[in-house]
Structure 1
């Protein structure tokens, strides 16, 4: 399997830039939370679940990015059909399910906050549902890659 080095390098750069964006959001999250707590002191305690979900999301997303980077390294080294690649795909899938769970937790927190404040949470909830859809698509793609790879690895020792 001969993959051009340029395409994997391009994807690695994209992953690196996405990692920088996640790091920047982790740095700015407390600043934004403090600013919002000063503006709305009566609902400041609702920021804790959002911060927990946000940092959990950032951690899971960072782990998935790292595993994607490792997977691209395996592809560059012509080591795609290995247990290491399968393990990376499993971890990416677990991270995707974690992201979905955290987004759902954020939606529940948002609904509770909307009941307390009387605001309409339709916009943020619809964006959250779009995030769940995108993550579900990624999970389906990873699963579609994982099954044939697992079958190939199960057949490999029999042929040797």
Structure 2
């Protein structure tokens, strides 16, 4: 793979992170405030919603960092190495963590959607959970294939 292709993918990783950063800065506080407005007797919901959404952003950005590192390994012709397998493993666990954190917050989002009569809120949460799980499965498959390729390469190196 050429350096231009990985450069494009590195730029794509950065571009993927920017909208989520904008959501964290501008939209998450509004969603948390909206939860507090819907249930004024439960003011702690504001903190819970914000904590859940910000906590799910942490593994997201760590997975983006690992993807950036993985592209760096490809640039240095170290794609078939244990470092790449470790990066894919971390991406897999980050995707699982995102799904778990959003799933843990789904009861709150369901209460918000029920009170405001907005079923789209629950649908968005389910889409995020599903997408994260798809990414986790994809990373697991790539991890297994890469591990097998590394084992095959080491067997061939020992044979020759």
Which category describes the TM-score, using the shorter chain as reference length?
0.7 to 0.9
Provide structure 2 residue ranges, at least 5 long, that are not aligned to the other structure: none
Q: What's the TM-score once normalised by structure 2's chain length?
A: 0.83
| Alpha carbons 1:29, 1:51 under 8 Å: kept | no
Mapped partners of 1:146, 1:38: distance in 2: 42
Mapped partners of 2:15, 2:28: distance in 1: 21
What is the Cα deviation at residue 25 of structure 1? 2.7
1:119 aligns with 2:116: yes
What is the Cα deviation at residue 38 of structure 1? 7.8
- Which residue in 2 is equivalent to 1:6? 4
- Which residue in 2 is equivalent to 1:130? 127
- Which residue in 2 is equivalent to 1:18? 16
Higher RCO (CA 8 Å, separation ≥ 6 residues): 1
Count of residue pairs brought into register by the alignment:
156
| Alpha carbons 1:67, 1:91 under 8 Å: kept | yes
1:102 aligns with 2:101: yes
What pairs with 1:1-160 in structure 2 (closer than 5 Å)? 3-29=1-27, 31-32=29-30, 36=34, 40=38, 41-113=40-112, 118-158=115-155, 159-160=157-158
Runs of 4+ deviating beyond 6 Å? none
Mapped partners of 1:39, 1:129: distance in 2: 23
Provide structure 1 residue ranges, at least 5 long, that are not aligned to the other structure: none
Q: What's the TM-score once normalised by structure 1's chain length?
A: 0.83
Other structure's SS at 2:116 match: coil
Alpha-carbon RMSD? 2.4
What is the Cα deviation at residue 53 of structure 1? 1.2
